[in-house]
Structure formats: structure tokens, C-alpha cells
């Protein structure tokens, strides 16, 4: 099955980041986790892409989903799977 590239900007010990990871794992999809604490340039990249400073920030393909609550809301509406499959 083809899927969109999924990127999650996260910070260790962030509960919302962990929940985002669990939700994506439950979908049995591949995703990339990028630790914003690995360097200021990574955090700046996330802030530039997302327009937000909080973590997690989730991208599915070129679509900025937002944080965990935003992704969970998409899943509750039945829209997350189609967004992932659009890749």
C-alpha cells in the first residue's frame, strides 16, 4: 500500500508526542520522528514549516496536520486514513 511520507517533530518526555507515535503505530504506517532537541536549526525548521513552536508538529505529505489533538480529531472524523493513503 502506498502511503504519504509522515514526519513528526517531537521532544523526549512530551506525552502528546508519545500519544501521536502510538496513534500512528496503531495505523501500521511508517513515519519519521525528528527530535527538536537535537539542535536549534531543527527547532527552527519545525517552526518555519509549522508556524508553531509547540511539539509535536505532524506533517503527512506536504500537509501540516498540527499537533496530536489535531491528528486525533482527524482520526475521529475518519479523515486520517485517507490523508495517509493519499501518498
Domain residue ranges of the chain, discontinuous segments joined by + = 6-85
70-79 residue pLDDT tens: 999 999 999 9
Per DSSP, the three-state class of 66 is: strand
- C-alpha distances (whole Å) from 44 to each of 12, 40, 65, 75, 85 are 17, 6, 18, 28, 29
15-50 residue pLDDT tens: 999 999 999 999 999 999 999 999 999 999 999 999
What is this structure's pTM? 0.95
Q: Which CATH superfamily, name and number, covers 6-85? A: Glutaredoxin (3.40.30.10)
Amino acid at each position: 500500500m502506498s502511503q504519504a511520507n509522515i514526519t513528526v517533530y517531537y521532544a523526549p518526555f512530551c506525552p502528546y508526542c508519545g500519544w501521536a507515535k502510538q496513534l500512528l503505530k496503531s495505523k501500521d504506517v511508517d513515519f519519521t520522528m525528528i527530535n527538536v532537541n537535537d539542535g536549534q536549526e531543527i527547532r527552527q525548521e519545525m517552526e518555519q514549516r509549522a508556524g508553531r513552536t509547540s511539539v509535536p508538529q505532524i506533517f503527512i505529505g506536504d500537509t501540516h496536520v498540527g499537533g496530536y489533538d489535531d491528528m486525533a480529531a482527524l482520526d475521529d472524523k475518519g479523515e486520517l486514513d485517507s490523508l495517509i493513503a493519499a501518498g
